[in-house]
Amino acid sequence: MKLLAVTACPTGIAHTYMAAEKLSQAAASRGIDMKVETQGSIGAENVLDDNDVSSADGVIIAADKDVDLSRFVGKRVLTVGVAEGIHHPEQLIERVRSAPVHTAGATPAASASGGGKERSVAYKALMNGVSYMIPFVVVGGLLIAISLSLGGHTDPSGGLVIPKDSFWTDVNNIGLIGFKLMVPILYTSPTPSGTGPPSCRA
């Protein structure tokens, strides 16, 4: 038996890869060949090709965002939330055997146990905004930490102080700008669907 899976979450960081790992482990423990495509923040990895799809007996979609299903026409497709892939991978492997066959233009049924429920537009938009915001927070924080550790001096009143005429003051200021940018980035990032008025964006 050969199964395929696609995992994805709005931020594309933790849950995407946790679900992929759990599904792979569950399949391996049953002697089932499984290839998992992860659609993370750095793009799709371990992408499923035409040969993979043609030889597959079923496909598990563990995602909280839209996944293109057109390539899985004619295959049994089970769609659930990414949390289901993390917490119940064994059950998903059993249930995909009897999942409905995906047809062109059809939307596969979600998990009968409630997994794969559609997230609200606000939730998806918020998580999408967070994914754009994270690089600014991480880089800004690193610059501030580096400037304090390398250019800071102990202040008698406590803490570290960077001399105003120091190169590290500029590095610190750049880090602070990164932190300040995270709010406008959060509110101006596009919605997952790429549409919608600004008031609906997170």
Q: How, if at all, do strands 33-40 and 43-45 pair? A: antiparallel
If you count them, how many residues does the chain have? 202
Residue 139 and residue 178 in contact, taking contact as beta carbons nearer than 8 Å? yes
Positive or negative, the CA dihedral 126, 70, 17, 21 is: positive
With 0-12 / 13-18 / 19 or more C-beta atoms within 10 angstroms meaning exposed / middle / buried, residue 17 is middle
Residue 80 and residue 110 in contact, taking contact as beta carbons nearer than 8 Å? yes
Query: Other CB atoms closer than 10 Å to residue 73's CB: what's the count?
Result: 14
Q: Shortest CA distance to 129 belongs to which of 193, 201, 194, 195?
A: 201
Query: Other CB atoms closer than 10 Å to residue 23's CB: what's the count?
Result: 25
Active site residue 9: yes
> H/E element holding 38?
strand 33-40
Residue among 4, 5, 8, 9 flagged as catalytic: 9
Q: Shortest CA distance to 113 belongs to which of 98, 131, 92?
A: 92
Kindly list the catalytic residues. 9
